Structure 1
Amino acid sequence: MHLALFLSLSGSHLAGWRHPLAEHGNPFDVSNYTRIAQAAESAKLDMVFVADKLAIDDIYGSSFEAAVKLRPAIHVEPITLLSALAMTTERIGLGATISTSYSEPYHAARMFASIDHFSRGRSAWNAVTSVNDGEARNFGRSEHFGHAERYERAAEFIDVVRLLWDTWSEDAIIADKAAARYADASGVHYADYEGKWFKVKGPLGAVRPPQGHPVLIQAGVSGAFQALAAENAEVIFPVQSTLAKAQTFYADFKAQVAAAGRSPDAVKVLPGVVPIIADSDDEARELEAELDALIVPETGLSFMSGSMNYDLSVHPIDDPVPDIRDRIRGSKGRFEVVLKNAMEQGLTLGDLGRSYAKGLAFAKFVGSPSTVADMMEEWIGARGADGFVVMPPYMPGGAERFLQGVVPELQRRGLFRSEYSGRTLRDHLELAHPDNRFEAARRLRIG
């Protein structure tokens, strides 16, 4: 299986930072991230992954108060962090989020090309469309793009970034002092791209990355997401709460990949999972109960409001969950399911806030290292996943319990590598090196 570690200092249980086992690390002390990334590398994980959001949530109550009061809400700029981690790790992949709504393709192409060179071929980019009006207001817009138009923009963004990476052939630099030829100009090309959203001349001011293209990650579950990811993604990060749902999604999505003319193995499906681990199953359940007892309902509701781009504070917290599925303007596929399940269970809004805070609607694997390994093995064997994005509930101990307990058990069972067999992230994920479209066109002309 493939394993990525969700790299944060607070954990994925929204009250995890409050637990006595949690350590509150300075988010701007890079050594805190380095220690975790190096531990993940020692365990031979495929990659670490850094999420991002371009605003502090201020949708709930039209204020950032709940976000900054109830949970760590700071998002360190992830590409800067990857640059530091590229210097302090050697083999593990390094993934980071970038917004296709509030970035430009040229910037993205240059930054991730640089990270790929610095890391010698270990970078990945998580292309997201962003979710809320708070982010829009930081970039000159009063509200976020509509669902359809932001995915249309994302498709074009991805195409332009990849085109820019191809504007240099991998052997274009000659550095022949005697002949006064630094680069072979025939291996450098204009992009000459003009579409609905972007107009980019090129060529890129960076040589083609060692991986050809850094690995493309996409996160989501909606129909629009799946259509885009089936055409483009190499790793997807979906929300799946049960094995049955994961199996259905896996089969349907892999069929879409095949229908797009790609091998189903060209995209690795890595759902997020929150592992709550202790020495025994009973102790793990006790730890889960301790974490859940620390939840303040507004913590989950403020997080949900930011993700849905809908202010849940307008509804009384003790009333039944309202059917607002047609009013979600942010992350649709994920929260349509969350709301549907909550209404079917007869939850109040406060109940929903507590429930969501427990694990952000991801599956939770609770138990001893052996029990958690059993669950992971079951999901892989039942074709519910190709691996997992591991999202520890608290940090750094939650990550350490997984890396030091579950990973050795997976290795003992022959389910996970004991050593890296390649140097690049594409090697780890068993992904092909992408062709250069300009070189392919040249070969076609010659042929």
Structure 2
Amino acid sequence: MKSNPQNHSNKFIERLNDVLSPIAVKLGNQRHLKSISSGMFFALPFMVIGAFFLILANPPINIEQFNPNTANFFMRFLAMWKEWSVVNYEAITVPYDLTFGIIGVLTAFGIAYSLANEYKLNASTNGLIAMVTFLLVCAPVEDGQISLEYLGANGLFVAIILGLLVVEVYKLFETKGIKLKLPDSVPPMVATFINSLLPLLANILIFYGINLIFVSAFSSNFPAVVMQVLTPGINIAGSLGGLILIVTIGQILWFFGINGSSIIFPIVFTLGVAQTGLNADQFSQGEAMTHAMNLQMFRISLLGGAGNTLGLVLLMMRSKLPQLKTIGRLSLIPGICSINEPVIFGLPIVFNPILGIPFVITPIVSLSLTYLAQRMSIITMGYIVDPSFTPFFAQAYLSSMDWRNVAFTFFLVAVSVVIYYPFFKVYEKSQQKIEKAKA
């Protein structure tokens, strides 16, 4: 009796799922990774508003190519805007400097707050201790002035490290019962204040002390040394190959019904925000932007949702099968906003070896094309942190203020249609045979 290849395939998938699923679920629920993800969102509103002022200070016009004799009303308006922004540039960019420019401070607070919540500790107190510790380590006072070098994107990884470790120190005091014994008559707010003194002092002594040791031994402060140590790893993860590898792992996890995007999010989003911040700094100083692995690349990896499935949705909408057409129509609006669970679980793509292939391949192609387009100056590198879950074309414009980026995302949707087409047709025919057999 011949063995059925389909049965062997199903058994292999089941075994692989049994191995990968517990690991992926454990990673997704790991409190430190969850806290990094949640903590980054604390800073997100400030980054979006800060980016607005950066846009206000840099209207999309090349004044050297402006000719007042032939310009229309809109170009004249942009020229007037440019003249006004040049005169008032420093005043306009102050909100940017104190929002986007201090995302390290905001992230340190957010991560410590989130991790403290995971441990059922006092979240606000831990957030404030992390923020103060971060400022002590990353904002040295020189000649009566605070250095801003590591308060923004340059200090983001230090903010993550301190945000996590500060809470662990605080937790140690709680678990060991190292606190002052106070009578029950003491109000809770006063007790919280008193019992936060020792963890605050301990964190300052530990991390500010480590910083002083680094300054003495290496003539560089703690964040500078950390960035030097992390640079090789950042270069790998922040390269095209590294990003493709991380995104591909996320796609494979989705294939087994596991939310791969949430698992890879802390890594990809953190790198994307950091490099977007560095591009923003270069842009604000009139320099050429050089950081290709910016947040725009992360958005491209999720164009239409995980697997870049917007092209698949468009094919489904023209399907001959009513159920596929219905799912496609219902998935269009969410897909435009990069939400595609209806396709992943409704079609489904989960445990679907036919559609699983383009699901993995399409983001790789899209990321490669976007990287080349950025390097060849066909599109503008992302330098603005745009809001999540907004239409993909709006994100493309808001990340770069360049209409070429919008046109390019529509081109990528067309590419996804081409990649998905042969696999979708195979799947559609297989479903038609099933329907005929049922009839």
Structure (1 or 2) with the larger CA radius of gyration:
2
Instruction: Tell me the TM-score normalized by structure 2.
Output: 0.28
Which is strand-richer, 1 or 2? Answer: 1
Higher RCO structure, 1 or 2 (CA under 8 Å, sep 6+): 1
Instruction: Tell me the TM-score normalized by structure 1.
Output: 0.28
Which is helix-richer, 1 or 2? Answer: 2
